[in-house]
Amino acid sequence: METMPFEFATAGRIVFGDGAASEVAPAAAAMGRRALLVTGQGTERAAALARALEAAGVVAVPFRVSGEPSIGTIAAGAAYARGEGCDVVVAMGGGSAIDAGKALAVMLTNPGEPLDYLEVVGRGQPLRQPSAPFIAVPTTAGTGSEVTRNAVLAAPERGVKASLRSPFLLARLAVVDPELTLDLPPALTASTGLDALTQLIEPYVSVRANPMTDLYTMEGLRTAGASLPRAWANGGDRAARRGMCWASLLGGLSLANAGLGAVHGFAAPVGGMFPAPHGAVCAALLAAAMEINLEALRQRAPESRALARYDEVGRLLTGKPHSTAADGIEWIAALCRRFEIPPLRAYGVTASDIPLLASRAAEASSMKANPIKLTREELEEIIRRAI
Ligand SMILES: [Zn+2]
């Protein structure tokens, strides 16, 4: 085996499978007495979990987030949770609810406010105290947030998003129950599923990919390629839903340990400046970013291992042994057409936004793992093709 030192970290425990959500309440009871229960809009399911917690002897203190959490939401929520004496945090929902839960769990035990610790827009100080125990229960198959070590927060007045990032943000327990995703509507299945796909491709071609993340990304791409079209066409297809939860989890494991790339480099400023859901933004950018990365690699780094990896992406997604990088890009573009993924202009992005978006993307933390450093012109071309 060639020398390839690496590090790998993930949630303390992962429970995966149909019906796994029944594990949440007893696990929470072993971690604390008063749970901050962070949820998105799904109130019915949240009420059922609150009842299960109470039955297990845990007081549930509800906290709802609508959309991606802002710095202000987290500052206010942490003060509320402290006042309520919460000693464990349970988050159930999409990536926004889970990221909010992570941020609240770490702000429960660390002094000050989120801006003290935020990268890019804040003071970037290291978080010094372990989080309150945190349980993540995803209800979408896309973000992998249940096993990542960052929480994305919006700074609406600055028009950007930035992350709290620390190994302390890893969940004590991640419960992935594919049954929770059965009622996702097709449009959400499409956008979250394409986020999962992006979060497998970018870590696979990343400069920080390691032998362990390679296992996960390749398995995830094979599974997502077979499952995503089926889960979208028939939401009740349990095997396909299971496949997408598995692919999403593998994407989370991979991105947390190998980083991302240009698509997520752009997703942060686009999502910060325009009211566009993260998955839809990634979907609109993915094919263009792959095309530009390939052109740049062929011109300036023809020996890069990422080139062969893009061909492998084509084979894994199409399931055909002779597919190439171009076939993979066409497979993705065709899926986006079938899913009716809108271009970024649908969210108000125009040609006049290109220079600012390219500048901000160049500064984004995700861009550091892109397989090649892109020029200013190349960055602008990615966003131009996605508009
Ligand atoms: Zn993403």
DSSP-derived secondary structure for 68-98? SPBHHHHHHHHHHHHHTT--EEEEEESHHHH
Give the Å distance between the CA of 326 and the centre of ligand 1.
Answer: 22
Question: How is 43-56 classified by DSSP, letter by letter?
Answer: HHHHHHHHHHHHHT
Once rounded to an integer, what is the mean pLDDT over residues 319-323? 96
Residue 2, pLDDT score: 60
One-letter amino acid at 200 equals L
Local confidence band at 337 (pLDDT 50, 70, 90 cut-offs): very high
Q: Which phi and psi angles does 126 have, rounded to 5°?
A: -70, 140
Give the Å distance between the CA of 279 and the centre of ligand 1.
Answer: 6
Residue 159, pLDDT score: 78
Contact 126, 171 (CB under 8 A): no
Local confidence band at 42 (pLDDT 50, 70, 90 cut-offs): confident
In the predicted model, is pLDDT for residue 24 greater than 90?
A: yes
Give the Å distance between the CA of 283 and the centre of ligand 1.
Answer: 9
List 62's β-bridge partners, or say none: 37
From CA 192, how far away is CA 186, in angstroms rounded? 10
Local confidence band at 3 (pLDDT 50, 70, 90 cut-offs): low
Sign of CA dihedral 298, 199, 204, 374: positive
Return the SS3 of 123: coil
Give the Å distance between the CA of 269 and the centre of ligand 1.
Answer: 13
Give the Å distance between the CA of 245 and the centre of ligand 1.
Answer: 14
Give the Å distance between the CA of 143 and the centre of ligand 1.
Answer: 6
Tell me: the pLDDT tens digits for 91-105? Answer: 999 999 999 999 999
From CA 103, how far away is CA 132, in angstroms rounded? 10
Cα Rg, the chain, nearest whole Å: 20
- Exposure string for 362-387, b = 16+ CB within 10 A, e = fewer: bebbbbebbbbebeeebbbbbbebbb
Distant-in-sequence, close-in-space partners of 336: CB < 8 Å, separation ≥ 6: 194, 283, 284, 286, 287
Give the Å distance between the CA of 141 and the centre of ligand 1.
Answer: 11
Residue 17, pLDDT score: 98
Tell me: the pLDDT tens digits for 128-168? Answer: 999 999 999 999 999 999 999 999 999 888 878 889 999 99
**H/E segment holding residue 129:** none
Local confidence band at 121 (pLDDT 50, 70, 90 cut-offs): confident
Give the Å distance between the CA of 59 and the centre of ligand 1.
Answer: 33
Short-list 257, 150, 256, 260, CA closest to 197: 260
Q: Show the tokens assigned to 236.
A: 């009740």
Contact 132, 88 (CB under 8 A): yes
Q: Which phi and psi angles does 373 have, rounded to 5°?
A: -75, 120
Share of the chain above pLDDT 70, in %: 99
Task: Quote the DSSP letter at residue 378.
Answer: H
From CA 329, how far away is CA 236, in angstroms rounded? 28
Give the Å distance between the CA of 244 and the centre of ligand 1.
Answer: 14
β-strand pairing of 160-165 with 150-155: antiparallel
Local confidence band at 43 (pLDDT 50, 70, 90 cut-offs): confident
List 381's β-bridge partners, or say none: none
Give the Å distance between the CA of 20 and the centre of ligand 1.
Answer: 24
Tell me: the pLDDT tens digits for 104-116? Answer: 999 999 999 999 9
